[in-house]
């Protein structure tokens, strides 16, 4: 089985040259997601590092298995990977049905919802994404243990904690 550091290196290589919507190296996003999941276990942190690798690179689930990625991690990555024939809302409902995948998507959503990241987007796109991510949080948070959600948010996006607690 690969170590977390080895999975981090795999993610770094897989996302080499990719940037996010605001021009930041994409690996920084997956590392932030993994950091939020690390308190919940190594395999969840691995899934955080790899959560977009099947969707955004040439890697496949079978390729990850062949590289020594644990089956649970590959299953989570496959669960959070977009279905090109499905809507985002359908994906969120599907992900919410898998407790591990829901936690990974919660961490992903929390990082994508950070005000400092959103500030780099044009106002119309920022508002559209904020509404999309808010709606997803309602579904995802309802599917997860609130203590685990809070653990993720404290690391990835503490500004969301009042929303979690209904404040």
Nearest Cα residue to 107 out of 131, 141, 71, 73: 141
Nearest Cα residue to 3 out of 53, 73, 95: 73
Nearest Cα residue to 48 out of 65, 21, 69, 18: 69
Q: What is the DSSP letter of 25?
A: B
Residue 127 sits in which domain range?
Answer: 4-164
pLDDT at residue 167 greater than cutoff 80 = no
Partners of 28 in beta bridges: none
Cα(139)–Cα(142) distance, rounded to whole angstroms? Answer: 5
pLDDT tens readout for residues 15-31: 999 999 889 999 999 99
pLDDT tens readout for residues 106-164: 999 999 999 999 998 999 999 999 999 999 999 999 999 999 999 999 999 999 999 99
The CATH number assigned to the domain holding 31 equals 1.10.3210.10
Q: How many domains does the chain have?
A: 1
Q: What is the pTM of this model?
A: 0.96
Angle, vertex CA 133, rays to CA 127 and CA 134, nearest 5: 90
């Amino acid at each position: 089985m690969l170590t977390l550091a080895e999975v981090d290196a795999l993610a770094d290589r897989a996302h080499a040259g990719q940037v996010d919507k605001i021009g930041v190296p994409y690996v920084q996003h997956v590392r932030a997601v993994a950091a939020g999941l690390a308190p919940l276990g190594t395999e969840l942190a691995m899934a955080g590092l790899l959560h977009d690798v099947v969707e955004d690179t040439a890697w496949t689930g079978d390729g990850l298995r062949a590289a020594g990625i644990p089956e649970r991690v590959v299953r989570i990555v496959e669960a959070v990977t977009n279905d090109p024939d499905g809507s985002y809302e359908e994906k969120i409902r599907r992900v919410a049905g898998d407790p591990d995948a829901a936690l990974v998507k919660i961490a992903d959503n929390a990082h994508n919802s950070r005000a400092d990241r959103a500030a780099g987007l044009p106002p119309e796109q920022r508002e559209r994404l904020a509404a999309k991510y808010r709606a997803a949080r309602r579904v995802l948070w309802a599917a997860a243990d609130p203590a685990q959600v809070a653990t993720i948010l404290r690391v990835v996006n503490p500004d969301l904690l009042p929303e979690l607690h209904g404040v």
